[in-house]
Amino acid sequence: MIELTSGTQMPEIGFGTGSATTEAMVSALHAGYRLLDTAQMYGNEAEVGDAVRLSGVDRAEVFVATKLNNGNHDPVAVRETFAKSLETLGFDYVDLFLMHWPMPMLDVDYVDTFKAMLQLTEDGRARAVGVSNFTPAQLERLIDATGETPAVNQVEMHPYFPNDEVRSFCRESGIVVQAWSPLARTDQFGDAVLTGIAQRLGVSTAQVMLRWHLQRGVVAIPKSNSPERIAMNRDIYSFELGEADMAAITALDKGEDGRRGGHPDTFTG
């Protein structure tokens, strides 16, 4: 478990629900995952709540994170849509509420959005708040303007895009980094460096990448609908990557050419 600045304990690997079926979410909980990552944008908060109840796992044992949709940055909308998220999930609280994207082109300043999100922690309905897809400059501005540090910054991160500038800033600032798209896309599974390490260790390429994240202090959020892959992706504690392997994987960095998603400065949702 990782302790957030709020004092909340968060698991060190999670399950991404964006394209997951309810059955896959239940499989993830049965496989031992205790962090479910959803978002207003995904339109599946009801299914996430159902999965927790169907799994038989106590709600208090599951760390549930959701995210503010990009059109809901107005402070009034923050409060109203967060309340709707709780209703849709069927929960009294979420463990983590993230701003999905900074959206700097909006008329509403993301600083004001974050201030409204901070208010949600006062009555415990959000145990912690954070951001997603923020650059170091955006984080620095947010911290300076509010006097508060986001608990988490969830960003694109994988061997072809290690996003080390963000990771370093967050580590120095006490912000936990979560990785979306931690396995990039399937074209990466054939990389000679990754497959060579996987074959030598007797594990899958996905397991190698997820172990790389773990040893870098990053909370990976992999996705799958296959019960076998779901279980395999969490089975990353029976082996370690040596320094040479870690360096070889990080050296796959393609810089901005490796980025698969939008850029935080220009993404419009």
Structure tokens at 257: 């050419």
Walk along the chain (269 residues) and give the pLDDT tens digit of each residue. Answer: 999 999 999 999 999 999 999 999 999 999 999 999 999 999 999 999 999 999 999 999 999 999 999 999 999 999 999 999 999 999 999 999 999 999 999 999 999 999 999 999 999 999 999 999 999 999 999 999 999 999 999 999 999 999 999 999 999 999 999 999 999 976 666 789 999 999 999 999 999 999 999 999 999 999 999 999 999 999 999 999 999 999 999 999 999 999 999 999 999 87
Is 42 annotated in the active site?
yes
Global model pTM greater than 0.85:
yes
Between CA 33 and CA 78 the distance in angstroms is 28
Residue 213, marked binder: no
The CATH architecture assigned to 2-186+213-225 reads Alpha-Beta Barrel (3.20)
Asked if residue 178 lies in contact with residue 16, where contact means CB atoms within 8 angstroms, the answer is no
CA-to-CA separations, 117 to 39, 90, 96, 123, in angstroms, rounded = 15, 20, 11, 12
Give me the catalytic one of 33, 42, 110, 160.
42
Q: Which two tokens stand for residue 267?
A: 């993404």
- What pLDDT, in 10s, does the model give residues 86-120? 999 999 999 999 999 999 999 999 999 999 999 99
Residue spans of the domains in the chain: they are: 2-186+213-225
Angle at 155 between CA 87 and CA 157, to 5 degrees: 135
Q: What are phi and psi of 86, to 5 degrees?
A: -60, -45
The answer for 30, left when phi > 0, alpha when psi is -120 to 50, beta otherwise, is alpha
Distance CA 190, CA 164 (A): 23
